Structure 1
Amino acid sequence: MTSTRERQRAAARARLEKEMAERAARARKRRQLQAAIGSGVALLLVAAGTVWLVTSLGDDKKDTPGTVAGASQCAWIEIPADQRSPETKDVGLPPVQVPNTGTQTLTIDTSLGPITAKVDLAATPCTAASFRHLAEKKALDNSKCHRLVSEGIQVLQCGDPSVTGSGWKETDGTGGPAYRFAEENLPTDKRPAYPEGVIAMAKSSQPSSTGSQFFIVYGDSELDPSYTVLGTITSGMDIVKQVGAAGHDNAFAQQAGGGHPKKEIVIKSMSLA
């Protein structure tokens, strides 16, 4: 027969084995739970990373809707057909998206020699794009500079595509392309606003009325700073000064002042590159 002591030892071993089995079971559960939590966290991290990547890529695509780096959007205002005059020259519209970095050289080949100007695309992206378009369409080829002002301000005005041939007409200075656009690079903090050597855009008294007409300043001129400064003349100022020195016929004396230049100057061709 089994003694009392042996029965006690057997019962103790049984309790110990049961306790060890329970501990092992609890340890397995802990490991399983930790593994499940670790897998869940990893999945969450992967999911979060995926969402971040997709969002980032999406943000890159919609960073600036409709534009790309180094480009600007231009709003061209097309003149309705029933509001155009015989002096309006339809050459279509320039591109909407245009470059806005770097500088380019505007070259105006005239009957008296070439005139060049430095154009900053960052300051006048749309005006530069308009000039490039007009040059490519040969819109101003064979047009004459039609107005000279030598009193108060000193400017030579050109860019009316309808001023061609010999002689002058009452409509000189009323022509332009079949579109208009907003002014840029206004010298509101400069004195004088338009110093000698500046090439700027002519316009009416209304905003967003810039077209193809421009003027070259051959003597410091204090004008209202509402005219786009396109660039700075780099060569050919002597040509403009020759025209200025020859004077004008006072044809515009009762209007904006000045008149047709007595020394004729014709734009043979133009380029911006």
Structure 2
Amino acid sequence: MLKRPLAALATLAAVSLLASCGDDESSPDAGDSPAASASSGSEKATPSAEGASGPTCVYPQDGQPAAKDVELPPNPAAVKGTIEGSMATTIGDIGISLDAKASPCTVNSFVSLAEQGYFDDTTCHRLTTADTGIEVLQCGDPTGTGTGGPGYTIEDEVTPDTTYPAGTLAMAKTPAPDSGGSQFFIVYGDTPLPPEYTVFGSIDEAGLKAVQEAAAEGTTDGGPDGQPKVAVDIESVTIDD
């Protein structure tokens, strides 16, 4: 198990790790978290979206500088229903379907970041393999270190019956509640995580197959949790009109 900042621990390499980290943010691991956006500072007003009629979303500052300069997402949320898009990556295009009905504030943030080019030219920095029991590819950090975030956090949007089947898009976070930021993970094999990570969409079959093929090559050091051996770089994220 790689020892990583909580920002990178967001997807966890095993359910037991969640329990061992607990919510103690003064612990060595908790000092540097996955969204590097968990220490909630003062809340910052979010811009209003002209004509938006979605729910009110609060995006508190996390006390860390943004990995890339971006504006806060609109408030109220400027998204609704199902939103289609795609990620152009070095392993091929990955179609994405975002569920703004179930996770409006998370999708609102993801769309805002995508449209500002936040995810462009970034790498998916972390892979956990079947040996951990958790099969995910973690992306969304422009620094590629597992510590970068957008400078704000997002409230969790989960229910007790939230699950993580293959093809799921979900938010990474620290063990603390409401600590998601820009980092997200792609589930490429059915994964037993507790219902604590916001599911905000899914990827298409072709994209899932491409991620599975890349994941089959394992990590750069051959361990169960680390940098993917086959680089998965996000060139751009496009949201359909």
Give yes or no for the alignment of 1:175 onto 2:136.
no
Deviation of the 1:250 alpha carbon: 4.9
Task: Pick the structure with more helix per residue.
Answer: 1
Give yes or no for the alignment of 1:156 onto 2:137.
yes
Deviation of the 1:101 alpha carbon: 3.1
* Partner of residue 108 from structure 1, selected from 57, 82, 87: 87
Q: Which residue of 1 aligns with 2:202?
A: 232
Q: Which residue of 1 aligns with 2:96?
A: 117
Q: Which residue of 2 aligns with 1:143?
A: 122
TM-score, normalising length from structure 2? 0.72
C-alpha contact 1:70 1:99 (8 A) present in aligned 2? yes
Deviation of the 1:69 alpha carbon: 8.4
Q: Which has the higher Rg, Structure 1 or Structure 2? A: 1
Deviations, residues 154-175 of structure 1 (Å, cap 9, x unaligned) = 1111110112xxxxxxxx1011
Q: In the TM superposition, what are the counterparts of 1:61-210 in structure 2 within 5 Å?
A: 70-80=53-63, 83-84=64-65, 88-99=67-78, 101-150=80-129, 151=131, 152-163=133-144, 172-184=145-157, 186-190=158-162, 193-210=163-180
Q: Which residue of 2 aligns with 1:64?
A: none
1:73 is paired with a residue whose SS is: coil
| Structure 2 CA distance for aligned equivalents of residues 269 and 69 of structure 1 | 25
Deviations, residues 222-273 of structure 1 (Å, cap 9, x unaligned) = 011100001122241111001110101359x6xxx60000001110000223
Stretches of structure 2 that go unaligned for 5 or more consecutive residues are 1-49
Deviations, residues 139-163 of structure 1 (Å, cap 9, x unaligned) = 1111110000012111111110112
Stretches of structure 1 that go unaligned for 5 or more consecutive residues are 1-66, 164-171
C-alpha contact 2:57 2:77 (8 A) present in aligned 1? yes
Deviation of the 1:70 alpha carbon: 4.5
Name the aligned partner's letter for residue 54 of structure 2. Answer: A
Task: Evaluate the alpha carbon distance shift between residue 233 and residue 91 of structure 1 in structure 2; reply closer, same or farther with a 3 A threshold.
Answer: same
C-alpha contact 1:131 1:272 (8 A) present in aligned 2? no
* Partner of residue 262 from structure 1, selected from 229, 232, 237: 229
TM-score, normalising length from structure 1? 0.64
Identity of aligned residues (%): 43
Q: Tell which has more relative contact order, 1 or 2 (C-alpha 8 A, sep 6+).
A: 2
Q: Give the aligned CA root-mean-square deviation in angstroms.
A: 2.2
